[in-house]
Amino acid sequence: MALPLEGIRVLDMTIWQQGTYGAAMLADMGADVIKVEGPDSPDPGRGLQHAEGLPPGVSPYFEAHNRNKRGIVVDAKHAQGRQVLLRLASTTDVFVQNMRKGVAERLGLGYDDLRAVNPRIIYASASGYGDLGPERELPSMDIMAQARGGLMSVVGGPDDPPFSAPVGLADQVGAMWLAYGIMVALFHRERTGEAQAVDCSLLGGQVALQSFNIGVYLASGQPPQRRPRTEAQPLWNMYRCADGRWLVIGLPQGDRWWAGLCAALELDHLADDPRFCSLLARSQNNRELIAVLDERFAGLPATSGCGG
């Protein structure tokens, strides 16, 4: 069976993760992705090794973000190298880059330069802060976007210092938005024949992740707060079991499943308890219910299943 992007060629001039993983997602769907690196400026991801015992020169980080791609070395700073890239661009559907604003233009590889040789090209930029505003030319990295985007202000307990997710959350979300933007632009081109420039920023991805929090703030004027586990929803929480392992409960429709949960935990006497038998009641008495569930799960190994 043919993959959906077979026949689409992508010229990938990205490094590190955001733009690079976005291009890998296109390759996963069958696109012919050509990774371009400079002779004296390879992708720094090639040098990242996060584990002992890896073979020399093997970087799982680089391999994960550049799977299914072909590779070429071109010196974009040299006039002949630039001509090579323009010739490639003339038969390319998508050009992806994550250079700081203005750098591609100085190299003669901006949107107008590529559109001059290929009026149908999709020009995709993975940026730090977007294409507008006073910070558009500033560089950024994953941890900076997690901080600036507000994610680090809502993760953890109220007394914890800010900390970032242990994965490239801003990079990966930015990559997914970039791949989405490219797909929409390709669809638009199929309908109209028009080229487009697409910009997806690390900051924009982090803001998009928090649309619910932002909506609450706009409606109430109250910014989201960190909460200790004991003040969260009892049925949207985590509990430690007798064997030291943790499990989570995720029951957004708690009223529907409350009686069944009580039966599974052999807490049938709580099924009709007015303190806990509705979402509002559980919210008002969350600490009390969490204490009950803490005690019950502390007597059950996670591997045994509940109710014996």
Query: Could you tell me if 169 and 28 lie in one domain?
Result: yes
Confidence (pLDDT) at 307: 44
Query: Could you tell me if 48 and 148 lie in one domain?
Result: yes
268 inside domain: yes
Confidence (pLDDT) at 304: 58
Confidence (pLDDT) at 184: 98
CATH code at 259?
A: 3.30.1540.10
214 inside domain: no
Does the pLDDT at position 81 exceed 60? yes
3 inside domain: no
Final residue in a domain of this structure, among 142, 176, 209? 209
218 inside domain: no
Set 171, 199, 272, 294: catalytic member: 171
The stretch 283-302 carries a mean pLDDT of: 95
Tens of pLDDT, residues 105-120:
999 999 999 999 999 9
Q: Specify whether 160 is catalytic.
A: no
Does the pLDDT at position 306 exceed 60? no
CATH code at 90?
A: 3.40.50.10540
Query: Could you tell me if 13 and 142 lie in one domain?
Result: yes
Confidence (pLDDT) at 173: 97
The stretch 196-222 carries a mean pLDDT of: 95
**Higher-confidence position of 154 and 110:** 110
108 inside domain: yes
Report the domain count for the chain: 2
SS3 annotation, the chain: CCCCCCCCEEEEECCCCHHHHHHHHHHHCCCEEEEEEECCECCHHHHCCCCCCCCCCCCHHHHHHCCCEEEEECCCCCHHHHHHHHHHHHCCCEEEECCCCCHHHHCCCCHHHHHHHCCCCEEEEEECCCCCCCCCCCCCCHHHHHHHCCHHHCCCCCCCCCCCCCCCHHHHHHHHHHHHHHHHHHHHHHHHCCCEEEEEEHHHHHHHHCHHHHHHHHHHCCCCCCCCHHHCCCCEEEEECCCCCEEEEECCCHHHHHHHHHHHCCCHHHCCCCCCCCHHHHHHCHHHHHHHHHHHHHCCCCCCCCCC
Predicted TM-score (pTM) of this structure: 0.90
* Domain around 138: 9-209
Query: Could you tell me if 85 and 197 lie in one domain?
Result: yes
Final residue in a domain of this structure, among 158, 177, 209? 209
Tens of pLDDT, residues 259-284:
999 999 999 999 999 999 999 999 99
